[in-house]
């Protein structure tokens, strides 16, 4: 726990002064009682003064003052709060290496199953968009809350050559900020008609080619703190390294400048898998170092999923981040409430036992 107005804690110095003042009042009352000639009255006054009941209400009032002073200092703590996130973009690798079978039944099948379960676990009011990337990156499903449409888009994945992680990030950003223009490689687009895969996309009012966006001069974007954009996140899964398109680390920095968190997932067994790529073979391994840098730059997290079970756990963890998020939250209202209750309890006990508040 921390305090936003930490200088206000100096007011706690008043607490020992209040204790000293109370002790002084007790001595003064005792001295006044000794002036009576009637011994019975003296015993009655001293007896009531020494009773534990006599000291409990002032002790509760002192505790109330202490807690209220802490409330003035505006205490804050890290709490898990309901998220106001409205959009999740799944950027998924559909390169040829995803046919590798080191993860049964194959990497692509395991990733499709896990992605559909992730979608099913998210709150119904969260919109989800899907970007598929290989040699180019394409928006295969505009953001929607229609879970069946999302599952259909995932089922229609077709594997192709190449891996353009950077373009996958930029197309995801273009989906989140449709009025902004992002520099992507030729062929990458949010227009559902660019090629065979794009022809299978669901048309919608948000499906506009980057080149068709407004041509009017725009003010240069002012970077914001990384991870500060709360309305959307990108979840990027890949099993390989960039072979074409924009530099992924530079694309990650663009996402950081817009405040969008990019959670990265490296998918594949540690030893990789040898894949036949149309006449030649290659060992498919994810570029974990690049994925870590992208996640770090955007104030997000990197995950290394080495099996289907690992991937399921990753998506479970991401679901928790979408539903709720941990953030520094002021909790002075709790201290103020506790202080008020202690003060009322002190007054109530004083009235019950002694017939007065003071």
pLDDT in tens, 100-146: 888 888 999 999 999 999 999 988 888 999 999 999 999 999 999 99
CA atoms within 13 A on the CB side of 49: 19
Give the Cα separation of 99 and 111 in Å (integer).
Answer: 11
Cα–Cα nearest to 234, from 142, 308, 168, 135: 168
Nearby residues of 123 by Cβ (< 8 Å), 6 or more positions away: 322, 323
Give the Cα separation of 327 and 309 in Å (integer).
Answer: 29
pTM over 0.85: no
Is the N-terminal amide bond of 105 cis, ω within 30° of 0? yes
- Is residue 330 left, alpha or beta, with left meaning phi > 0 and alpha meaning psi from -120 to 50? beta
DSSP H helices, the chain, are 14-33, 39-50, 52-72, 107-121, 147-155, 165-176, 248-257, 288-297, 308-323, 332-354
Say which CATH superfamily domain 83-306 falls into: von Willebrand factor, type A domain (3.40.50.410)
Give the Cα separation of 134 and 106 in Å (integer).
Answer: 17
pLDDT at position 42 is 52
Residue 162 and residue 135 in contact, taking contact as beta carbons nearer than 8 Å:
yes
Segment 250-272, tens digit of pLDDT: 999 999 999 999 999 999 887 76
Domain with CATH 3.40.50.410 in the chain: 83-306
pLDDT at position 313 is 93
Q: How many CB atoms lie within 10 A of CB 41?
A: 11
Q: Which two tokens stand for residue 231?
A: 């309305």
Alpha-carbon dihedral sign for residues 196, 105, 269, 118: positive
In the DSSP assignment, the letter for residue 139 is E
Max Cα–Cα distance, the chain, nearest Å: 116
pLDDT at 203 over 80: no
Nearby residues of 306 by Cβ (< 8 Å), 6 or more positions away: 268, 269, 270
Give the Cα separation of 102 and 307 in Å (integer).
Answer: 9
Average of per-residue pLDDT values in the chain:
81
Report residue 76: phi and psi, to 5°.
Answer: -140, 145
Give the Cα separation of 289 and 136 in Å (integer).
Answer: 22
Give the Cα separation of 160 and 241 in Å (integer).
Answer: 14
Kind of pairing, strands 302-305 and 261-267? Answer: parallel
Report residue 94: phi and psi, to 5°.
Answer: -125, 30
Whole-angstrom CA distances from 358 to 125, 296, 297, 353 are 55, 59, 60, 12
Percent of all residues in the chain with a pLDDT value above 90, rounded to a whole number: 36
Residue 207 and residue 201 in contact, taking contact as beta carbons nearer than 8 Å:
yes
pLDDT at position 217 is 56
pLDDT at 280 over 80: no
pLDDT at position 235 is 96
Alpha-carbon dihedral sign for residues 238, 244, 250, 255: negative
């Amino acid at each position: 726990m921390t305090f936003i107005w930490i200088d206000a804690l100096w007011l706690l110095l008043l607490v020992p002064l209040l204790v000293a003042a109370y002790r002084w009042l007790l001595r003064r009352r005792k001295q006044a009682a000794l002036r009576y000639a009637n011994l019975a009255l003296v015993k009655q006054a001293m007896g009531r003064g020494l009773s534990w009941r006599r000291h409990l209400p002032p002790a509760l009032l002192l505790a109330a003052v202490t807690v209220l002073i802490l409330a003035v200092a505006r205490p804050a703590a890290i709490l898990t709060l309901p998220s106001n996130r409205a959009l999740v973009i799944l950027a998924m690798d559909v390169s040829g290496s995803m046919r590798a079978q080191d993860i049964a039944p194959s990497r692509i099948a395991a990733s499709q199953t896990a992605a559909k379960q992730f979608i099913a676990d998210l709150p119904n009011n969260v919109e989800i968009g899907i970007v598929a990337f290989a040699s180019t990156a394409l928006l295969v499903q505009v953001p929607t809350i229609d879970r069946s449409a999302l599952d259909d888009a995932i089922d229609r994945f077709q594997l192709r050559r190449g891996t353009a992680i950077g373009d996958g990030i930029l197309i995801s950003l273009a989906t989140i900020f449709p009025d902004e223009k992002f520099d992507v490689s030729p062929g990458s687009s949010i227009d559902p008609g660019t090629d065979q895969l794009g022809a299978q996309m669901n048309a919608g009012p948000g499906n506009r080619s980057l080149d068709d966006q407004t041509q009017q001069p725009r003010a240069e974007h002012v970077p914001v703190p990384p991870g500060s954009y709360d309305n959307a996140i990108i979840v990027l899964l890949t099993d390989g390294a960039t072979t074409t398109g924009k530099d992924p680390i530079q694309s990650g920095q663009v996402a950081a400048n817009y405040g969008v968190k990019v959670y990265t997932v490296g998918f594949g067994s540690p030893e990789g898998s040898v894949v036949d790529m149309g006449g030649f073979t290659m060992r498919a391994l994810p570029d974990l170092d690049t994925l870590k840098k992208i996640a770090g730059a955007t104030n997000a997290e990197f995950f290394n999923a080495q099996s289907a079970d690992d991937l399921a756990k990753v998506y479970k963890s991401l679901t928790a981040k979408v539903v709720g998020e941990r953030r520094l939250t002021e909790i002075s209202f709790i201290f103020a409430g506790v202080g008020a209750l202690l003060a009322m309890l002190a007054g109530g006990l004083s009235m019950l036992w002694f017939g007065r508040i003071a």
